Amino acid sequence: MPYVRTRLGRWFYEERGPSTRGGDAILLWHSFMCDGGMWRHQIGPLSALGRVVSFDGPGHGKSEVPPRHFTLEDNADALLDAFEELGIGRVVVVGLSWGGMVGMRLALRHPHRVKGLALLDTSAEPTPRAEKIKYRAFVSFGRRFGMPHALADWQIVPLFFSAKARAEQPETVERMIRAASGFDREGLARASLAVVVHRTNILPDLGGVHVPALVICGREDRATPPIHSQRIAEKIPGARLVWIDGAGHLSALEMPSEVNAVLVPFVQAALTA
């Protein structure tokens, strides 16, 4: 299986499309509690535009448990390790939730490596204090007991999927929960601390992002409510905001046709800009 070495351990990746060492690429980074398979409806259309590299995040999917606790800033810096090994020059980032958080930090910390940002259902703000307390409890429970299906149905599914998706796409919901239940407990815990508990506020810094930006959000997103996407779009100069009616947090999974209709033309334009 293809792996790349980074300061946060070895990451599994999938690559599609034409590859030129040192050239541009489309970077896909998934949501917390998902893996690269989350992009199964996007990787085909995007690979027709150029090289696509999709990673499993630290402690998720087939990637290793990170060797230490990490931050989202560490995560963005570790991408440079992957770029070096894979011969990637600049990227158009397509990131949902966790992926958007990493993408924004990559653009702020290493702007010369980013050509565009497609930010789906994400946030540039810290988690509210009350929610941090709840998530710390989940982390502690998950380290000991994993994620029982009943707990996932009660707490995770309503956060990640709209009522429409839960009713009409039960197989999509079940596939996501089954995959997440198989992730390493410690890996999931360390990622949870980075993505949710220790997330910093970068919203005031987004005026310093000077690449094309597309912000997409499901109107029924309960994990990162739409106001977060609205604030991101207001801060990044020239950003375009698109709402996906009826979609929840995992909009790219729930309503791929609607997402792809705006995502694919944006990525194409960003690559050729």
Read off the pLDDT of residues 27-43 as tens digits, 9 standing for 90 and up. 999 999 999 999 999 99
Of the pLDDT bands very low, low, confident and very high (cuts 50, 70, 90), residue 215 is very high
Of the pLDDT bands very low, low, confident and very high (cuts 50, 70, 90), residue 273 is confident
Is residue 225's pLDDT more than 90? yes
- The whole-number pLDDT of residue 59 equals 95
* Average pLDDT score, the chain: 94
CA distance to 8, 9, 65, 183, 186, per residue, from 68 (Å):
7, 9, 8, 17, 10
Distance CA 55, CA 28 (A): 7
Is residue 245's pLDDT more than 90? yes
Q: Which fold has domain 3-272?
A: Rossmann fold (3.40.50)
The reported pTM is 0.96
Is residue 150's pLDDT more than 90? no
The more confident residue out of 21 and 89 is: 89
23-29/52-55 β-pairing: parallel
Q: Which of 58-62, 147-151, 242-246 has the lowest mean pLDDT?
A: 147-151
Of the pLDDT bands very low, low, confident and very high (cuts 50, 70, 90), residue 147 is confident
Instruction: Determine phi and psi for 28, rounding to 5 degrees.
Output: -110, 125
